[in-house]
Each structure stands twice: as C-alpha cells, then as structure tokens.
Amino acid sequence: MPLKKIKEFCIEKTIYLSGITSIIFVVLIFVFLAREGFSLFKRVSVFDFLLGQDWYPISEPAKFGILPMILGSLAVTLGATLISVPLGIASAVYIAEVASPRIKEILKTGIEILAAIPSVVIGFIGMTTLVPFSKNALNLPTGLTAFSGSVTLAFMAIPTIVSIAEDALTAVPVKYKEAALALGATRWQSIRRVILPAASSGIMAAIMLGIGRVIGETMAVMMVTGNAAQIPQSLFVPVRTLTATIAAEMGETVQGSDHYFALFAIGIVLFIITFIINLIADWAVHRRFK
C-alpha cells in the first residue's frame, strides 16, 4: 500500500472514531454516575431516596430523602415555565413574523447576548436586584425564594425558547402564509391560524428544551433561592433544587461516604430527567419533518 493510501486510511479511521465519541461520552457519563450513585442504594432503597421527606446527609443516622429537592426543582421549573413560555413564544413570533428586518437583527442580537451571559452573572444580578426588590415589594421575610428563582431562570430559558421557536416559525413554507393572506386573512389571522399550528411541533421542542435548561441550571438558582431543603408550600418560600444540592454540598463531602454517593445518585436523577426531556424534544422536531 502506498504511503498516501495509509495516510488516508488513518485519517478516515480517526474521523470515524471521533464521530462516535459522542455516544461513548453519553455512556461514560451514565457509567460514572452509576458507579458512585448506585452504592447508595445498597443502604437506602430507591423508594426512600426519591420519596423521603428528610435530607439530613450528615446527621446520625443520616437521612437521604430528596423529595423536598424534587419539589423545589419542580416549583422553580413550573414558575419559570409560566413566565418564559408565553414571553418566549411571543418574542419569537414578533421576531419571525412582525419585526422589520433591521429591528429583527437588533432583537436577535439582544437574545444572543442574553444567551451568552454566564449563569453566575445572571445569578449575581438576581441576587443584588431581584432578591431585595421582591423582599420589599411582596413584604416577605426573605427575597431568596422559589419566585426569585423562577424569574431568574425564566430569563435563562428564554433565549433557548426564542431561538428554537423562531427557527420553527421561519421553517414554515412561505406559501402557507401567502395562501392565507390571499384568502383575505389579516397578518395576525395568518399567524394565529396557519403559521403557529404549522410550527407547533418545533414550538413544542422549544418549550421542552427550555424546560430542560431550567431543570439543569445550577449557579443562578443556587444564588437566589435560599437553599432550604424543605417541602415548599408556596412559590414565596426558600427552596432548594436538585442541582443546587450537588453544587453546594459536594465540596464538603468525604469521598466514598454515603453523602458522596447520594449526591451522585441525585446526578443520576437529573441525567435521566434531562435525557427524557431531550428525547421528547427530539421526537417533536422529527415529527415536524415528516
């Protein structure tokens, strides 16, 4: 075999290997989470772990119930979804269908900047502005609440929702809109009755990915929600999310302790939740193209 052929062979093999690394990494992530996380389930049942109401990881005897954190994540996610979905989709429609090309570019740049701001910076600003503001305006004992977390996270989900929903709206064939307009529909009627339904799968994907972003967000939420591991009775009390628990406590654990394993077990829960959300989003996107 000439040298050139060998070189080409090597390059192709390298490319092939690189191509499948993504699969390897996903598997590795799961394996390494499971390796540590499953050790917990030798001592605590999965049932007690997921539905236990007490999280006292270092007391004697230790309790590893993550229900308060699951509900904390849920509360924050629900709040963030309620804010970000209507705002995000409305902005996407405005950018895709209403705004003039110049305004469109400016708005898109604004959304891109929002997407680029590091979560720790958003958390920092939330901490210094939103937290004291909501404490005073709503007359709460503390501004570090699920509500603050929801608002902060809504702004982190919005860029995801806007950009994917906008793509979906733009992907609707122009002739759909033209047909509606030719039939005498106003622009709003054509958006509402033709374009939005046609883009619904893509918008669904946008919402799912936005929710995925919210559930997985760590730093910002940790800085504004107060981190109290209690079952939330409303949106206006401190909560602690699954992600914040890992980030806040991993530094203090002893490697190989039950507490350490429990944090990895929380990682497994997060991994599975986001995995399912991404599958749904992917399914929604592919349905669109059928």
Partner 1 sequence: MNHNPYRTEKIAFTILFFATVLVVLPVILIVLIIIQKGWSIISWEFLTAMPKMGMREGGIFPAILGTIYLVLGTLFFALPLGVLSAIYLTEYAKDNVLTRLVKLAIINLAGVPSVVYGLFGLGIFVMFLKFGASILAGSLTLAIMVLPIIITTSKEALDSVPKSFREVSLSLGASQWQTIRYSVLPHALPGILTGIILAISRAAGETAPILFTVAAFYLPKLPESIFDQVMALPYHLYVMSTQVPNVAENLRYGTALVLLVMVLSMNFLAIVVRSKFRKKKKW
* Window 199-258: residues binding partner 1 (CB under 8 A): 209, 212, 215-219, 223, 243, 246-247, 250-251, 255
Q: Rule CB under 8 A: choose which of 50, 113, 138, 179 binds partner 1.
A: 113
- For residue 225, the minimal CB distance to partner 1 (Å) is 12
Query: Site residues for partner 1, window 52-81 (CB under 8 A)?
Result: none
Q: Work out whether 263 is an interface residue with partner 1 (CB under 8 A).
A: yes
Cβ distance to partner 1 smaller for residue 44 or 122 = 122
Stretch in the footprint of partner 1 (CB under 8 A) among 89-97, 168-176, 194-202, 228-236: 89-97
Q: What is the 3-state secondary structure (H, E, C) of 259-289?
A: HHHHHHHHHHHHHHHHHHHHHHHHHHHHHHC
Q: How many CB atoms lie within 10 A of CB 21?
A: 10
Stretch in the footprint of partner 1 (CB under 8 A) among 43-51, 170-178, 187-195, 230-238: 187-195
- For residue 54, the minimal CB distance to partner 1 (Å) is 22
Cβ distance to partner 1 smaller for residue 79 or 123 = 123
Q: Rule CB under 8 A: choose which of 38, 41, 94, 133 binds partner 1.
A: 94
In sequence order, the 6+-apart residues with CB closer than 8 A to the CB of 27 are none
In whole angstroms, what is the distance from residue 80 CA to residue 147 CA?
Answer: 8
Cβ distance to partner 1 smaller for residue 23 or 60 = 23
Nearest in space to 149 (alpha carbons), one of 265, 66, 228: 228
What's the first-to-final CA gap in the chain, in angstroms?
46
Nearest in space to 82 (alpha carbons), one of 225, 167, 239, 207: 207
Cβ distance to partner 1 smaller for residue 237 or 266 = 266
Stretch in the footprint of partner 1 (CB under 8 A) among 51-59, 106-114, 194-202, 232-240: 106-114
Q: Rule CB under 8 A: choose which of 67, 114, 231, 235 binds partner 1.
A: 114
In sequence order, the 6+-apart residues with CB closer than 8 A to the CB of 227 are 144, 238, 239, 240, 244, 248
Residues in contact with partner 1, total (CB under 8 A)?
86
Q: Rule CB under 8 A: choose which of 67, 107, 181, 235 binds partner 1.
A: 107
- For residue 141, the minimal CB distance to partner 1 (Å) is 19
| Buried-exposed string 118-133: b where 16+ CB fall within 10 A, e elsewhere | ebeebbebbbeebbee
Cβ distance to partner 1 smaller for residue 53 or 271 = 271
Q: Is the peptide bond before 61 cis (omega within 30 degrees of 0)?
A: yes
Q: Which tokens belong to 205? A: 């994907």
Query: Site residues for partner 1, window 1-40 (CB under 8 A)?
Result: 8, 11-12, 14-16, 18-23, 25-26, 28-29, 32-33, 35-36
